[in-house]
Amino acid sequence: MPSNRRIVIVVFPDVDLLDVTGPAEVFALANRETEGRAGYQVQLAGPSRGAVTTAAGVRLLADLAFDEVSGVLDTLLVPGAVDLRPQGPVARVDRDVVEWVRVTAPQARRVASVCVGAHLLAAAGLLDGKRATTHWSTAAQLAAEHPEVTVDADPIFVRSGKVWTGAGISACMDLALAMVAEDLGEQVALAVARQLVMYLKRQGGQSQFSVPLSRPAGSRRDIEELRTYIAEHLEADLSTVALAGRMALSERHFARVFRKETGTSPASYVEAVRVEAARRLLESTDQPLDRLAAACGFGSAETLHRALRKQIDTTPAAYRRRFRTTA
């Protein structure tokens, strides 16, 4: 690896502030934790030198104009911007920025987008035939405008060869930490995460939302309390019959109320919560599959295997190989 890792972050009017400053802070702390040995050098490049007003109203200073960027880059980092429309946020795609990214990307060892910056990479043709993620609110737009890209709105970040794509807002920190881990090892990344008071083990395969957050909040407090009970008692009998009994409702009425409040059936919700718990344990422990399955309420490794295959189309062993974080 090079001793001088030059990182160029693209900036332009209305760019999301944290998309720029979040990764920059991660790389700066990596330099500090290694007493400069990391060699990260962060530069901001924009359409012209000087002040750039971000979406937060805070101004940044571009070190370089686009036409002044030359030579080999370690990392090209592309954040994004959105326009707020009545139907919701729409990712902004500036053709001049897209063209510069397209021409500059071959100079970089790796290219990454943050949040809706994925739309710029896609417009530059850098995501063709690749799997990619973006902020959940514009994932449908990305998929509709670029059918040649396999859009996955769930993960925090996705790596496809030399191209990385990150999910929304704070996920830029997880993306940058993963890059630090690749460059310098898990111990350095862990030290940086501690300085940032962050949880290092949010791996790329994890969902942008936990299961409770991904479901709409209901109007019935008793259903919300039941959701809490489910999350805290995964090993218990969580069948529809048992949950209906706990609510003192008939099975049919309970299932109807639960679906109205959460948008899904009790059985599907319980399975999703158990799969999420299993994913966390697969990422963070070496527990045997039968013990892990029992802890999450699956009863057997076979049941766990079927649930993971159904929910995320993989096996426990394959998931662990890909996302296991070594302490």
Which tens digits make up the pLDDT trace of 37-59?
Answer: 999 999 999 999 999 999 999 99
Q: Mean pLDDT lowest for which of 20-34, 46-60, 197-211, 255-269?
A: 197-211
Of 155 and 198, the structure prediction assigns the larger pLDDT to 155
Q: Mean pLDDT lowest for which of 56-70, 219-233, 245-259?
A: 219-233
Q: Span 77-100, mean pLDDT?
A: 95
Of 28 and 313, the structure prediction assigns the larger pLDDT to 28
Q: Span 72-95, mean pLDDT?
A: 95
Q: Span 174-197, mean pLDDT?
A: 88
Listed residue (250, 81, 112, 98) closest to 177, CA to CA? 112
Superfamily of domain 5-195: Class I glutamine amidotransferase (GATase) domain (3.40.50.880)
- Residue 283 · residue 316 · CB < 8 Å: no
Active-site positions read 115
Which tens digits make up the pLDDT trace of 59-73?
Answer: 999 999 999 999 999
Residue 204 confidence (pLDDT): 47
Q: Mean pLDDT lowest for which of 44-58, 117-131, 170-184?
A: 170-184
Q: What is the DSSP letter of 326?
A: P
**Mean pLDDT score of the chain, rounded to an integer?**
89
Residue 169 confidence (pLDDT): 76
Percent of the chain exceeding pLDDT 70 equals: 91
Q: In terms of pTM, does the model score above 0.75?
A: no
Residue 252 confidence (pLDDT): 95
Question: Residue 54: enclosing H or E segment and its boundaries?
Answer: none
Superfamily of domain 211-323: Homeodomain-like (1.10.10.60)
In terms of average pLDDT, the best of 103-107, 170-174, 191-195 is 103-107
Residue 15 CA to residue 10 CA, distance in Å, equals 9
Is residue 2 very low, low, confident or very high in pLDDT (cuts 50, 70, 90)? very low
Beta-carbon contacts of residue 221 (< 8 Å; ≥ 6 apart): none
Chain-centre distance for alpha carbon 191: 21
Q: What is the DSSP letter of 155?
A: B
Q: Mean pLDDT lowest for which of 141-145, 198-202, 278-282?
A: 198-202
- What SS3 class is residue 289? helix
Q: Where are the domains of the chain?
A: 5-195, 211-323
Beta-carbon contacts of residue 11 (< 8 Å; ≥ 6 apart): 20, 44, 45, 46, 52, 54, 60, 62, 79
Q: Span 96-118, mean pLDDT?
A: 97
